[in-house]
Structure 1
Amino acid sequence: MKRKLVIFGLTDVADVACFYFKRFANYEPVSFTVDAAYVRESSFQGLPVVPFEESVERFAPEEHDMFVAVGYTRLNAVRKEKYLAAKALGYHMASYISPQATVLNDGRIGDNCLILEDNTIQPFVEIGNNVTLWSGNHIGHHSVVRDHCFLASHIVVSGGVEIGEQCFIGVNATLRDRIKIGEKCVVGAGSLLLTDAEPEGVYMGQATERSRVPSTRLRGI
């Protein structure tokens, strides 16, 4: 029998999470929830929207799990806050691990994690609680991803890397082996990190600028 699931959030992330839990996991999403101040509609994607303040009365933790489907707003602080609040109410926090992901770390993955298709998680990796790995990432052997991180898509984390709490890693970033990323770091899209990153640092890849030469004048294209 499928376990009943309440999803915190009303954004695209919540919509995507509901799709995956419903299609590929042993869960039946039954409701969405957000703080009462943010309830604008009575339903979302055909399911009722219930104020978070009423969730325990409407959806007993003994009979329902919860998943906090929030992105990296305020460097993951909002997702962390709601995750801790839901746990304090007694909810078991669900995780979704895609059957299309390659997971070789013997289940060293925390709760409230969202791990989408085409991720490769090599042996001896540790992934904390409340971590999002969007599609197509490589997490190298002996690496550690601490709690409340968000990794976008097509990121290469080489072997033995440590990523501190509440970090955001953008698409196509590359992290060299055996470096440490301090907590609350932002590593922008396309960045290449070869040395340790300081806590609360911002590391941005260089954006490509428009060439002043028209494309019709470039040879070999």
Structure 2
Amino acid sequence: MPVAQTRTTPKLVIYGCGGHGKVVADIALTRGLSVEGFVDDKAPEGGRVLDLPILGGATWLEARRSNVRVALGIGENQARCRVYELCERLGIIPLTLIHPTAAVASSAQLGAGVVVMAQAVINPDARVANGAIINSGAIVEHDCEIGAFAHLSPNATLGGAVRIGAFAHLGLGASVLPGKAVGDEAVVGAGSVVLTDVPPRVVVVGVPARVKRQREDR
């Protein structure tokens, strides 16, 4: 008589063990998920963060791809995208995590690998693309569109129907008025207020936000 095979529950790991990774791990633990540890290409294997082990880097993940879930614990947009693409190549869909104190409307749409942190608000018909971060206390009003791998820092606020481009980054407490757009890879400085559309790949600062320089990094 054949022996029945049991399926094991995939283990959850956090890719990235820096400060952002700690917060992502805390969200997972707060939601009652069991976190196996951290994966990080730069941190020494065998170390510990939040009393969880650093398991290894990309090679560790590749060897265990069939029994692992991954949450993205990297704050820098381009690096987070590279980890997302690695997961895709390994057949892993990054986990979307929402802190229990966040308010997410039932009609909002969240892509794979999105992290929504404590006290954040995402209102009706907002759309958040893959790999984006809605950080602590950020507000995404109705009908907003957040591009892939964008990052809204703590207490950033978007009025209704705002469009945030892919890889854009809004600093601490930055605000965007209703209906305005922030272009791909643009940076809005901390505390800045966007009154007019922001072009792609620029840095804007101030009240009102004005272009300070072009971005040169990739």
Give the TM-score band, short-chain normalised.
0.7 to 0.9
- Structure-2 residue corresponding to 1:60: 65
What is residue 213 of structure 1 aligned with on the other side? none
CA deviation after TM superposition for structure 1 residue 154, in Å: 1.2
Is the 8 Å Cα contact of residues 30 and 48 (structure 1) preserved in structure 2? no
Cα offset, 1:54, TM superposition? 2.6
Structural mapping, 1:81-120, within 5 Å: 81-120=82-121
In structure 1, give the amino acid aligned to 2:34: E
Contact 1:2 1:28 in 2 (8 A): no
Instruction: Describe the superposition over 1:19-62 as per-residue Cα deviations: whole angstroms up to 9, x where unpaired.
Output: 2101224x311131123xx24241323324222113132x233x
Q: Which runs of 5+ in 2 are unaligned?
A: 1-7, 208-218
Output the CA distance in 2 between the equivalents of 1:7 and 1:132.
Answer: 15
Instruction: Tell me the distance in 1 between the aligned counterparts of 2:27 and 2:21.
Output: 10
Counterpart of 2:21 (choices 6, 14, 17) is: 14
Match of 1:189 in 2: 190
Cα distance in 2, alignment partners of residues 203 and 195 from structure 1: 11
Q: CA deviation at 1:105?
A: 4.5
The total of aligned residue pairs comes to 198
The superposition leaves residues 124-169 of structure 1 with CA deviations (integer Å, 9 ceiling, x where unpaired) of 1000010111111111111100100111111110011110000100
Asked if 1:32 is matched to 2:38, the reply is yes
TM-score normalised to structure 2 length: 0.85
**SS of residue paired to 1:154:** coil
**SS at the partner of 1:117?**
coil
Larger of the two Rg values belongs to structure? 1
- Offset of residue 2 of structure 1: 6.9
Deviation of 1:204 (Å)? 1.1
For the aligned residue pairs, the C-alpha RMSD in angstroms reads 1.7
Distance in structure 2 (CA, Å) of the matches to 1:120 and 1:33? 29
Distance in 2 of aligned mates of 1:165 and 1:31: 29
Q: Is the 8 A contact 2:175 2:192 kept in 1?
A: yes
How far apart are residue 83 of structure 1 and its match? 1.0
Q: Are 2:203 and 1:202 equivalent residues in the alignment?
A: yes
| Gap change, CA 1:170 and 1:39, over 3 Å in 2 | closer
- Matches of 2:45 and 2:30, distance apart in 1: 24
Give distance in 1, aligned partners of 2:205 and 2:106: 30
Structure 2 counterpart SS, 1:197: coil
Measured in 2, the distance between the counterparts of 1:48 and 1:159 equals: 41
Runs of 4+ in 1 over 3 A off after TM superposition: none
Q: Which residue is equivalent to 1:209?
A: none
CA distance in 1, matches of 2:146, 2:182: 10
> 1:103 is aligned with what amino acid?
V
Distance 2:88 2:94 in 1: 7
In the aligned structure 2, how far is the partner of 1:39 from the partner of 1:189?
Answer: 29
Structure 1 unaligned segments of length 5 or more: list them.
207-221
Q: Cα distance 1:117–1:3, how it changes in 2: closer, same or farther (>3 A)?
A: farther
Percent of pairs with identical residues: 23
CA contact (8 A) 1:5 1:65 kept: yes
Q: Distance in 2 between matches of 1:125 and 1:18?
A: 25
2:57 alignment partner in structure 1: 51
Instruction: Quote the offset at 1:199 in angstroms.
Output: 0.3
